[in-house]
Amino acid sequence: MALLIVQAQSEDTIAAPGNRNTNYIVVSVTDSAGQPVTGLTASNFAIQPNIVGPGGALVNITTAITGHISGTYIVDVVPILTYTWKAGVYIFAVQVTRGSDHGRHCAAFKWINRRVVASTVYCCFRCTEGHLKFFDKTLFAKEK
């Protein structure tokens, strides 16, 4: 089992409170040596909204496409069933799995007066011999 270093940013241009339009999550995936991880598909990604706007719902991944830079992906998500986006903060846990390799990261966005303010929360981890180790936001500098 090896570490995948995952960075994610939730960017929103068409999703808004009250609609079911796509929310874009841009994900960068590298291996522990910093080399881009290519060839991933939607089945390699899992997106879980851990915090949602009041009345918000889980999401489904509609597509995951390769970005223009090697190792980057655009993962499109929409609310499940007939739910719509709600005003407030959303924090998505993003998991990437390739065989037994995996990594995680969190991405957040917040709607304020129908405008989105995006931010990122770092929570990348590595599982080595059953132990969890957390990294600071530089991802490579030191373990905590």
State pLDDT tens for residues 91-120: 999 999 999 999 999 988 877 554 444 444
Query: pTM of the entire structure?
Result: 0.78
| 39-88 per-position pLDDT tens digit | 999 999 999 999 988 888 899 999 999 999 999 999 999 999 999 998 88
Does residue 139 lie in a domain region?
Answer: no
Q: What is the CATH number of the domain that holds 125?
A: 2.60.40.10
Does residue 27 lie in a domain region?
Answer: yes
Does residue 81 lie in a domain region?
Answer: yes
Does residue 96 lie in a domain region?
Answer: yes
Does residue 26 lie in a domain region?
Answer: yes
**Can you list the pairs that 35-44 forms with residues at least 24 positions away whose Cβ atoms lie under 8 Å?**
35/71, 36/69, 36/70, 36/71, 36/72, 37/4, 37/71, 37/96, 37/98, 38/66, 38/70, 38/71, 40/64, 40/66, 40/73, 40/96, 40/98, 42/75, 44/96, 44/97, 44/98
Does residue 86 lie in a domain region?
Answer: yes
Range(s) of the domain holding residue 92: 4-134
Does residue 143 lie in a domain region?
Answer: no
Does residue 107 lie in a domain region?
Answer: yes
Total domain count for the chain? 1
